[in-house]
Amino acid sequence: MTPVLQIHGVDVSFGHGPRRKDVLHGIDLALPRGRTLGLVGESGSGKSTLAKVVVGLVRASSGQVSLDGTDVTRLRSRADLFALRRRVQLVPQDPYASLNPRMTVGETIAEAIDPRRGGAARHRAAVAERLAQVALGADAADRYPHEFSGGQRQRIAIARALAVEPDLVIADEVTSALDCSVQAEVLNLLAALRRDLGLTMLFISHDLAVVRHVSDDVAVMHHGRIVESGTAQAVFDTPREAYTQLLLASVPGRRRDAA
């Protein structure tokens, strides 16, 4: 079966001449339907840049990115890029910045369900269903983002992403702006949604413990290259690369049998 996402030989550079910075080098990844791939690496290793290539916000200087077999790096028209942005939903790091403060939660989710015929009233039942999926009551629909806590806002951002019924969800550091206790709540929710809805997800984090919690497969990124990839169990239990071993050794309190 064709993977939902297939990345082959992707290079990315920013700037020109002496200011040129090569950020991604020959990235290869495959993400089959219904699986979650954890992309882990230190800050600056290129994880977010790769996510932006997949959603069409950054152009690859070479290589292919295929979504269900279509090379998205060749899309140019606004209509094609708009369609791509619906098929791939990005849940960003900052739930404060990602939700429109002037729209009620219901309007935001209704717009995700149907961008042409928005209107929270028309889609009330579907909105309530989406809110229930992320453990929020139907009354949340009439409220504004500022009335919610950080963890609740992140759940609203997840509900909005899922309302589009995307082929692929990209979660980029979705817990890093949250307090520890709330982080666990959002991670447990993502783990449950992944199980119940069979999500296909690229889960990006610098935090190995977090990646382990939600991923089937793991790719380790270092200085813009994938240095190791495999099932989460293989990468965490028997890491081959010295860099992965170093990352694992730096997880506080980790015992080989406890992660």
CA distance 112 to 158: 11
Which range in 42-50, 117-125, 147-155, 245-253 contacts ligand ATP by CB under 6 A? 42-50
Min CB(117)–ligand ATP separation in Å: 36
Show the binding pattern over residues 48-77: x = contacts ligand ATP (CB under 6 A), - = does not.
xx----------------------------
Min CB(205)–ligand ATP separation in Å: 8
Q: Per the structure block, which two tokens stand in for 179? A: 């307090």
Min CB(43)–ligand ATP separation in Å: 3
Question: Sign of the CA dihedral 71, 72, 76, 78?
Answer: positive
Residue 123 or 206 having the CB closest to ligand ATP: 206
Q: Does residue 222 touch ligand ATP according to CB under 6 A?
A: no
Show the binding pattern over residues 108-137: x = contacts ligand ATP (CB under 6 A), - = does not.
------------------------------
Residue 42 or 80 having the CB closest to ligand ATP: 42
Question: Sign of the CA dihedral 7, 63, 75, 52?
Answer: positive
Residue 127 or 178 having the CB closest to ligand ATP: 178
Q: Does residue 41 touch ligand ATP according to CB under 6 A?
A: yes
Q: Does residue 46 touch ligand ATP according to CB under 6 A?
A: yes
Stretch 190-219 residues interacting with ligand ATP (CB under 6 A):
206
* Phi-psi map region of 173: left, alpha, beta (phi>0 left; psi -120 to 50 alpha): left
Name the residues that contact ligand ATP, by CB under 6 A: 14, 21, 23, 41, 43-49, 173, 206
